């Protein structure tokens, strides 16, 4: 059975917006373990103490699921992995001409081979199990590539990783490379780490599996450097569909996608296979009639296997522009989770109830002058999307309103006029301290409650 190492917590940190906190990393690792992932790849502990602590927390959260952490072929990097408590180290080194000229100038091929042997041996002496990767494998001379792997295996590496670092290969080429490695390195597990720059990482992963690869490196939502790597959910469901790797709990894939999308501020597009908003949505009249009789008419997968339901309602904005104009309604904040009744009237300016398909939520609260504003009516909460607080006082130039805003673990005093941008995934809240004015909250989701992310294990 193909085994999966998910590198969201390492490769995902190299994406344009990827920066997982310790707490977020623990959540993701916990869900990955529950989903039956065979190994979790997390971080580069030598970077700093904060990164080392994050990896250590993931090791604890992962339980029986082994954790691999990244290291250059440097003694200090490898020792940091051991200190973090990971059981595996992923040592990487490039040996091709590009690496020798630009990544490691002045290093000869013989010196690089010696570095591989010494670094793997050092890791084994520390009690670490080793995966060795030749960086930029797909652009490395085949003879030099095999030699590097053989040296690593001889020194104690239990797994070698073929990295298509630039995502340049096509499926047939990928299969040929893996078949060659399979012949030259018998008895050694082979992993593939495939970038998606040409949109071919999934096809290449399936070709590699057919050619004998034992492991595939994935990430949630395909998150990673540039265009990312092989998408976890899509690969898992394809292997399940093939009958070669059953899903352990497909219903977790949506939660993983949503959390990782929020924490990286990079939500998957609506057409992303398996987890995208629209992938089980039917609109064409012929399709709607067919799936109402037999869902399999236009669905390759039972949506329930991945915690989804099919839909045949037509989404989208009303066609008549007059329907885009909203007369705000006063609605109590108690309709929202984490909220209680607070000072002043609360006008809902827009959400999907008033403009179907708007996918935005905005409220305006009139805050009167009070002797005592109380302890606050909003508990700290988290959205899967970006949001915004705006504070406008009743005095000249919108001054005169004082609040406290919570962002993460810090509390900030704020004087109006002010706006507070709140990135997706960040815990936040506010409390009125003094004055009078108007508070506005704008959330990039049409349904407030469904935009909330709760801590793992919490009950609503």
Helix locations, 252-392, DSSP H: 252-263, 285-293
Indicate whether 80 and 192 sit together in one domain: yes
- Tally of domains in the chain: 3
* Domain annotation covers residue 193: yes
Phi, psi of 66 (to 5 degrees): -65, 150
**CA dihedral (253, 425, 455, 450) positive or negative:** negative
* Domain annotation covers residue 164: yes
* Domain annotation covers residue 367: yes
Cis peptide before 257 (omega within 30 of 0): no
| Cα–Cα separations (whole angstroms), residue 429 to 27, 173, 196, 408, 457 | 21, 52, 38, 9, 21
Kindly tell me if the per-residue pLDDT of 460 is higher than 60: no
Kindly tell me if the per-residue pLDDT of 16 is higher than 90: no
Residue 52: CATH number of its domain: 3.20.20.70
Indicate whether 335 and 380 sit together in one domain: yes
- Provide the angle, in degrees to the nearest 10, between the axes of the packed helices 142-155 and 109-125: 30
158-187 pLDDT tens trace:
999 999 999 999 999 999 999 999 999 999
Indicate whether 71 and 9 sit together in one domain: yes
Q: Which two tokens stand for residue 195?
A: 């970038």
* Domain annotation covers residue 157: yes
| Percent residues over pLDDT 90 in the chain | 82
Strand partners of residue 159: 131, 189
- Name the residues annotated as catalytic: 287
Kindly tell me if the per-residue pLDDT of 284 is higher than 90: no
Kindly report which listed range (126-130, 311-315, 360-364, 453-457) carries the lowest average pLDDT score.
311-315
Give, as one character, the DSSP assignment of residue 1: -
Beta strands in 311-376 (DSSP E): 329-330, 346-350, 361-367
Distance separating alpha carbons of residues 259 and 9, to the nearest angstrom? 12
Q: Which burial class, exposed, middle or buried, applies to 74 when counting CB atoms under 10 A from its CB (0-12, 13-18, 19+)?
A: middle
Indicate whether 341 and 428 sit together in one domain: yes
* Domain annotation covers residue 391: yes
Q: Where do we find the tokens 């915690």?
A: 307
- DSSP 3-state helix, strand, coil percentages of the chain (rounded to 5)? 35, 25, 40
Q: Which two tokens stand for residue 261?
A: 């999308």
Can you tell me the mean pLDDT for 34-61? 97
H/E stretch holding 155: helix 142-155
Indicate whether 247 and 290 sit together in one domain: no
Angle, vertex CA 66, rays to CA 63 and CA 69, nearest 5: 120
Q: What's the pLDDT score for residue 203?
A: 98
Distance separating alpha carbons of residues 450 and 383, to the nearest angstrom? 9
Distance separating alpha carbons of residues 214 and 223, to the nearest angstrom? 22
Indicate whether 209 and 243 sit together in one domain: yes
Q: Where do we find the tokens 């085994």?
A: 3
Q: Tell me the pLDDT of the chain averaged across its residues.
A: 94
* Domain annotation covers residue 457: no
* Domain annotation covers residue 272: no
Distance separating alpha carbons of residues 388 and 424, to the nearest angstrom? 10
Q: Which two tokens stand for residue 7?
A: 């590198």
* Domain annotation covers residue 376: yes
Q: What's the pLDDT score for residue 459?
A: 53
Indicate whether 237 and 331 sit together in one domain: no
Indicate whether 248 and 213 sit together in one domain: yes
Per DSSP, the three-state class of 157 is coil
Indicate whether 219 and 97 sit together in one domain: yes
Indicate whether 233 and 373 sit together in one domain: no
Kindly tell me if the per-residue pLDDT of 307 is higher than 70: yes
Of the two residues 373 and 242, the one the predictor is more confident about is 242
Cis peptide before 129 (omega within 30 of 0): no
Distance separating alpha carbons of residues 201 and 204, to the nearest angstrom? 5
Query: What is the domain range of residue 291?
Result: 280-295+305-315
66-111 pLDDT tens trace:
999 999 999 999 999 999 999 999 999 999 888 788 777 878 899 9
Q: What's the pLDDT score for residue 88?
A: 98
Per DSSP, the three-state class of 336 is coil
With cut-offs at 50, 70 and 90, classify the pLDDT of residue 58: very high
Kindly report which listed range (162-171, 190-199, 273-282, 395-404) carries the lowest average pLDDT score.
273-282
Residue 431: CATH number of its domain: 2.60.120.10
Q: What's the pLDDT score for residue 315?
A: 65
Indicate whether 197 and 290 sit together in one domain: no
With cut-offs at 50, 70 and 90, classify the pLDDT of residue 34: very high
Give, as one character, the DSSP assignment of residue 100: I
With cut-offs at 50, 70 and 90, classify the pLDDT of residue 314: low
Print burial letters for 140-168: b (CB count within 10 Å at least 16), e (below 16). Answer: beeebbbbbbbbbbebbbebbbbbbbebe
Indicate whether 200 and 289 sit together in one domain: no
């Amino acid at each position: 059975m193909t085994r999966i190492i998910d590198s969201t917590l390492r490769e995902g940190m190299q994406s344009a917006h990827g920066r997982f906190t310790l707490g977020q990393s623990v959540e993701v690792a916990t869900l990955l373990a529950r989903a039956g992932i065979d190994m979790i790849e997390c971080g580069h502990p030598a970077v700093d103490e904060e990164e080392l602590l994050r990896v250590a927390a993931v090791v604890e959260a992962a339980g029986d699921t082994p954790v691999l952490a990244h290291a250059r072929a440097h003694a200090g990097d490898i020792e940091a992995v051991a200190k973090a408590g990971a059981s595996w180290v992923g040592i990487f080194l490039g040996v091709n001409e590009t690496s020798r000229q630009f990544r490691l100038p002045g290093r000869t091929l013989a010196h690089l081979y010696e570095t591989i042997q010494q670094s793997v041996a050092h890791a084994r002496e520390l009690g670490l199990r080793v995966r060795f990767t030749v960086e930029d494998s797909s652009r490395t001379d085949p003879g030099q590539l095999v030699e590097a792997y053989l040296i690593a295996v001889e020194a104690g590496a239990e797994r070698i990783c073929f990295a298509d670092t630039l995502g340049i290969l096509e499926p047939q080429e990928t299969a040929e490379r893996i078949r060659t490695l399979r012949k030259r390195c018998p008895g050694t597990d082979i992993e593939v780490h495939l970038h998606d720059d040409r949109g071919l990482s999934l096809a290449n992963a399936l070709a590699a599996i057919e050619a004998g690869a034992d492991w595939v490196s994935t990430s949630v939502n395909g998150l990673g450097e540039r265009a990312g790597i092989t998408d976890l959910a899509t690969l898992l469901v394809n292997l399940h569909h093939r009958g070669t790797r059953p899903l352990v709990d497909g219903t977790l894939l949506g939660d993983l996608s949503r959390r990782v999308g929020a924490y990286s501020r990079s939500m998957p597009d609506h057409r992303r296979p398996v987890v995208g908003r629209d992938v089980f949505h039917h609109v064409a009249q012929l399709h709607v009639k067919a799936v109402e009789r037999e869902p399999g008419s236009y669905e390759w997968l039972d949506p329930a296997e991945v915690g989804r339901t099919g839909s045949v309602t037509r989404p989208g904005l009303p066609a008549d522009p007059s329907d885009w104009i909203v007369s705000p309604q006063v609605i109590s904040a108690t309709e929202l989770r984490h909220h209680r009744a607070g000072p002043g009237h609360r006008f809902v300016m827009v959400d999907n109830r008033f403009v179907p398909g708007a996918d935005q939520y905005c409220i305006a609260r009139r805050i009167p002058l009070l002797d005592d504003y109380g302890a606050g009516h909003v508990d700290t909460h988290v959205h899967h999307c970006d949001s915004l607080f705006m504070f406008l006082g009743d005095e000249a130039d919108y001054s005169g309103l004082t609040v406290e805003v919570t962002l993460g673990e810090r509390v900030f005093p704020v004087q109006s006029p002010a706006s507070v941008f709140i990135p997706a995934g960040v815990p936040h809240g506010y409390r009125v301290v003094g004055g009078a004015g108007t508070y506005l909250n704008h959330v990039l989701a049409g349904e407030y409650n469904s935009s909330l992310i709760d801590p793992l294990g919490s009950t609503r």
